[in-house]
A = this chain, B = another copy of it.
Amino acid sequence: MLTIGNLAKKTGTKVQTIRYYEQIGLMPEPGRTEGGQRRYGDAELDRLSFIRHSRQLGFSLDAIRELLDLSDHPEKSCDEADAIARRQLRQVEQRMARLKALRTELKRMVHECSGGRTADCRVLEVLRDHSECLTDHDDIGA
């Protein structure tokens, strides 16, 4: 039986995060000691590991909820899990493309900075003048 602190250590999670997952229903309510402290078993350890690993791969908590649900029903078709993973892959690829464009522009900015007064600073100039910008404008977030 694990305390919440030990579970946290084993999974690389913060204690508060575990309680948060419980609160939003991603983790089940665990057993308690007489004094009211949470105690966890292997099932919970596995579930939390699954969640953390998925988070590291960039899945949203909602996506993880679906994946956990699929994982709980081995007789269901695998298609949905596959679709979620593909969606995630597409998102990652979009973000990468976007970051690549940003990197190009940032590199150009930094390269051209001559190191004088801000009045002649290329960095600020580029930010001021949108027309030299190559990136598209729909979305921010990186």
Contacts and interface: CB of A to CB of B under 8 A. Distances in A.
Contacts of A12: 137
Contacts of A113: 78, 81-82, 85
Nearest to A100: B96
Contacts of A70: 118, 121, 124
Interface residues of A, number: 59
Contacts of A56: 102, 133, 135, 137, 140
A92 B106 contact: yes
Contacts of A106: 57, 85, 88-89, 92
Contact of A124 (B58, B81, B99, B115): B81
B67 A127 contact: yes
Interface in A69-111: 70-71, 73-79, 81-82, 84-86, 88-89, 92-93, 95-96, 99-100, 102-103, 105-107, 109-110
Contact of A81 (B78, B92, B123, B130): B123
Contact of A99 (B55, B95, B105, B116): B95
Given A12-B137, A50-B127, A53-B130, A58 B102 contact: yes
Given A77-B118, A89-B110, A92-B103, 6 more contacts: A53-B127, A53-B130, A78-B118, A78-B123, A82-B113, A96-B99
